[in-house]
Amino acid sequence: MRLLFIGAPGSGKGTQAKRLAEERGVPHIATGDILREAIRQGTPVGREAQPYIAAGGLVPDDVMIRVIEERFARPDVAGGYVLDGFPRTLPQAEALERMLARLGRPLDRVLLLECPEEAVLDRITGRRTCEVCGMPYHVRHRPPRREGVCDRDGGRLVQREDDTEPKARRRLEKYRAETAALVPFYEARGLLRRVDASRSPEEVYREIRSAVGRAGGGG
Ligand code: AP5
């Protein structure tokens, strides 16, 4: 299974991609998580990315393409992968297509999670994320068993610095201006499937499973 999730910030990409990747035993490659970890560790990529993320903008394409090439050099992608958060611009999509062709690991499907803007704003501003594993929770829609603590590993749940309303609105503007262009790009390649992501996480997951059913093979 070689899958890509696209969709507005807060549409549920991380929630669904993480679950599907765990169920299928393939890596969940989320560029937002990779960048936040780089910032925590103070690496050169982290220092370069931090101001863009903090402002709700996009990290430059050349940095992101380097990040994804390094990630795909690891052997765990041989059995498939679930990509989430990359590409986000047309130059990134073109670079990804070239890289995957070179590696002989092209995408099987692209899932577009569609959700109205008022709903994604509510999801983003209510989100709390585990500091250890990155698992997203929501103060109302998906609370942890113990307030402020991750169910899986006991990590502290924190609010991301880009999850305030003004920054969420800026991220949505960026999505409309840059990332929405990926929809016709993947539609033209016959890869795109639309998923109604406004429903409950369980209902969304069921639809995703049926959309990827036949893309479930290895490699
Ligand atoms: P990233 O971490 O990828 O952020 P994002 O795309 O803005 O997506 P989110 O993480 O906000 O949302 P999501 O769709 O994953 O939703 P989630 O499942 O968490 O990137 C962060 C930043 O890094 C970017 O802004 C950019 O600066 C930079 N970056 C990363 N990749 C880049 C690239 N390729 N190029 C340039 N810059 C890049 O769900 C959201 C909330 O809703 C959670 O609380 C969840 O519990 C809840 N929820 C989920 N599903 C449902 C449901 N069905 N019903 C109710 N609640 C739900």
Q: Which of 137, 183, 123 is nearest to 18 (CA)?
A: 137
All residue ranges of the chain with pLDDT < 70 are 214-219
What's residue 219's pLDDT? 47
Spatial separation of the C-alpha atoms in residues 64 and 4, rounded to whole Å = 16
Taking the CA atoms of the chain, what radius of gyration do you get in angstroms? 16
134 Cα–ligand 1 center, Å: 11
Structure token digits, residue 23: 């169920």
Residue type for position 37: E
C-alpha 47: how far from chain center: 21
For ligand 1, mutation pick of 4, 5, 15, 86 (most atoms within 8 Å of CB): 15
What's residue 135's pLDDT? 87
pTM of the model: 0.92
Q: Are 130 and 26 in contact (CB under 8 A)?
A: no
9 Cα–ligand 1 center, Å: 5
Spatial separation of the C-alpha atoms in residues 163 and 135, rounded to whole Å = 15
The SS3 of residue 29 is: strand
Q: How many residues does the chain have?
A: 219
Dmax over CA atoms of the chain, in Å, equals: 46
What's residue 218's pLDDT? 46
For ligand 1, mutation pick of 45, 72, 114, 138 (most atoms within 8 Å of CB): 138
